[in-house]
Structure formats: structure tokens, C-alpha cells
Amino acid sequence: MSGADLRDRALGAFEGLALGDALGMPTQSMSREAIALHYGRLEGLCDAVEQQPISPGLPAGTVTDDTEQAVLVARLLVQGRGRIEPHAFARALLDWEADMVRRNLADLLGPSTKRALEQLESGVSPDEAGRTGTTNGAAMRITPVAIATKPDLEPLLDAVVGASRLTHNTSLGIAAAAAVAAAVSAGIDGADLGSAMDHAERAAAEGAARAPWAAGGEIAPRIRWARGWVRSLDDDTLPSAVAEVIGTSVAAQESVVAAFALAEALGDRPLEALTLAARLGGDTDTVAAVCGAILGARHGTSGLPTDLTAVVRKVNDLDLGGVVEGLLELRHS
């Protein structure tokens, strides 16, 4: 694969994350019924209604913590030449949250990240601070690590653990982040979608063994089961299956698995996959962001709706090209 193709897929992963995030912004933390009531059949970017519990009134195309924290991780990776120093990471996350408060936004640090940073502040070591982190926070912001790291499993898992253990040092948190990173990194390298998601299953299984065990449905077998199950479903039954059986909460074993299920079922229709994610209820911005990163890596920027990605870039003053170049330099170093 040419350097231009590699860059296009890497940029596609980051833009796919941002697009999914922006599509899910108006519906995050709402029920499926409330989404249908306020937005009808959401099929594109739209303004958040005033009844939105986290981002009321935000304009169409606005991203949330998923994209903003991914950009934060990307910059720390580039500055640290591939390594994120835990205390610098903690300071950057706290500064990010303080900026959210100043902007009068309710999109703050997630429960696992918040708890880990409080532990760190009280003197707990970075390796111990994330021992309760089982949510999807590490997975939602892992795409820069995937861009910066080739899909070879050992170095990829080293990079995932290094970027995630401060806040999500559990078998569920690391496995979820490893699955996303593997699928995205393999896609950037030119793997077809099935091969990339097979690689994700392997990464999740091995990643889980690198962190303290946490109770809950394990990520790798749940992704394997979900991928197989959704292949038998039609477009009418898919939404209920994902929302009601797989789940879309902040728990890593729900939302991250839901993203893989949608990528499996609608992998050749990225916009349909992402708008469906936005209609499912729950942690819609993260489900759509993770799914968008996986499909963006597979299809590249040309496989995403360029009119919508242009809106997301403009609304958020988001220039991902330079960030991606810095991450790709790390990938080739």
C-alpha cells in the first residue's frame, strides 16, 4: 500500500471517529423513545434539542469528549515520542475538564477516569489508580495509539496498556481498548474488515490477560458472539438486537461490543452504521465514534460522507491532518 493510501486510512480513522461522535452528540444519554420523539428518524447531523441532558442546544456537527480526548491523547503521544507520562496525562485530562466547566458544558470526565485521577491525586500509584476502570473511556480515545502503532500484537498491546492503565487498568478496560486499537491499526495497514475484526478479537483476549481481572462479560468472546449473531439479522431487527441484548451503556462490554456489531452488520455502509448508532440510545456518541474509527480505517476518507466530515471540521475548527502526520511518523519510527 502506498504512503498516500496509508495516510488516507489513518485520517479516515480519525475523521470517522469525529463524525460518529458528532452524529451521536444530540442523542447521548437519551432513550430510543426520546430520540425518536425529538429527532424522528435521525439520518444526519443535527442540532441538539434543549431536552438533551448533556449537550442541550449545541449546533449540528459538534463533537464531544470522545474526539476531544482522542486529540488530547494524540498530542501527548507526539510530544512524548510514543509514550504518555501518567502524571502529564492526568493534568491534561483535568485541564480538559476544567475547560468544559468554563464553557458551561456537562460533558465531563467519565466515572472510571474521574475515580482514577482522584486516586492518583491522593497518592496512589499510576498502576493502581485505574484498578476499577471497566468503562469505555480508554477505548473511545485509543484511535491515536492505533494510528501511531503497527498492528503487530506485542508492540500494539504494549502501547495500549501504556496509554490506558492510568484510568482503565482492568481486564475489561484494557481488552476493549486493545480490540479497538487492533481493528483500527489493521485497517490502516490495508486489512479487510473481517480480518481487522478477527485481529481485534485476538488483541482483546491477550489484552485482558495484561491487567487485573474484573467481573463482567469478557470482551473477546462477546465480540465474537455479537459478530456472528448480527450476520443473521436484517436491517429491521438489528436496532433492537443491539440496543436491547448487546447494550449501549458506558460499560465496555456493552458499548464497545455494540460498535463492533454495527461494523460487522453494516461495514459496507458507514453512514448507515453511524446514524443507526446515534439512534440506539445510551452512550450513542461513543458507540458511533468507535464504529466510525473502525470503518474509517477500513474505507479511508473517501469512504466517509465528505459533506458531513467537512461540517464537523468546520464547526469544531478541527484540523486532524497535522496530528495524523505526527502519529504516522511514530508508526514508521
CATH number of the domain that residue 221 is part of: 1.10.4080.10
- Reply yes or no on whether the pLDDT at 327 is more than 90: yes
CA 199, distance to chain mean position in Å, is: 17
Check pLDDT > 80 for residue 107: no
Q: What is the pLDDT of residues 206-251, one digit of tens each?
A: 999 999 999 999 999 999 999 999 999 999 999 999 999 999 999 9
Distance CA 215, CA 238 (A): 27
pLDDT at 102 over 90: no
**What DSSP state is assigned to residue 204?**
H
Contacts of 135 by beta carbon, 8 Å cutoff, 6+ apart: 110, 111, 112, 168, 173, 250, 251, 252
Tell me the β-bridge partners of 30.
Answer: 282
Task: Judge contact between 278 and 290, C-beta under 8 A.
Answer: no
pLDDT at site 110: 84
Return the pLDDT at 293: 98
Which residues partner with 282 through β-bridges? 30
- Whether 106 has a pLDDT exceeding 80, the answer reads no
283 is in an annotated binding site: yes
The answer to whether the annotation marks 235 as part of a ligand binding site is no
Given a cut of 80, whether residue 291 has pLDDT beyond it is yes
What is the pLDDT averaged over residues 35-41?
96
Dihedral sign of CA atoms 119, 204, 8, 19 in order: negative
254 neighbors 284 (Cβ within 8 angstroms): no
Residue 160 has pLDDT above 90, yes or no: yes
Cell of 311: 461540517
Q: Which domain range does residue 317 map to?
A: 3-331
User: What confidence score (pLDDT) does residue 2 get?
Assistant: 83
Task: Encode pLDDT of 5-25 as tens digits.
Answer: 999 999 999 999 999 999 999
66 is in an annotated binding site: yes
Predicted confidence at residue 109, as pLDDT, reads 83
Q: Please give the Cα distance from 269 to 281 (Å, whole number).
A: 20
> Is residue 107 a known part of a binding site?
no
User: What are the cell numbers at 195?
Assistant: 480480518
Q: Residue type for 216, please?
A: G
Label residue 104 by pLDDT band (50, 70, 90). confident
Cβ–Cβ < 8 Å for 142, 156 = no
3-class DSSP state of 307: helix
pLDDT for 10: 98
Q: Return the percentage of the chain with pLDDT > 70, whole number.
A: 100
Which single residue is written with the C-alpha cell 452528540? 25
Name the amino acid, one letter, at 231.
R
For residues 313-328, give the mean pLDDT: 97
pLDDT for 302: 95
Decide: helix, strand or coil at residue 135.
Answer: strand
- Nearest by Cα to 246 from 234, 262, 266: 262
What pLDDT, on a 0 to 100 scale, did the predictor assign at position 21?
A: 98
Judge whether 195 and 151 are in contact, CB under 8 Å.
Answer: no
**pLDDT interval class at 164 (50, 70, 90):** very high
Residue range 257-267: average pLDDT?
98
Question: How many domains, in total, are found in the chain?
Answer: 1
In this prediction, residue 32 carries a pLDDT of 96
**Whether pLDDT at 167 is above 90:** yes
Neighbours of 3 (CB within 10 A): 9
Contact partners, residue 249, CB within 8 Å, separation at least 6? 255, 282, 283
- Per-residue model confidence (pLDDT) at position 100: 81
Q: Given CA atoms 193, 194, 195, 201 in this order, what sign does their dihedral have?
A: positive
Residues 73-99: tens digit of each pLDDT: 999 999 999 999 999 999 999 998 888
Average pLDDT, the chain: 96
Query: How many Cα atoms are found within 13 Å in the side-chain-facing hemisphere of 319?
Result: 3
pTM of the model as a whole? 0.97
pLDDT at 80: 96
Grid coordinates belonging to 303: 469512504
pLDDT of residue 197: 98
- Band the pLDDT of 103: cuts 50, 70, 90: confident
67 is in an annotated binding site: no
CB 304 within 8 A of CB 16: yes
Residue 286 in marked binding region: yes
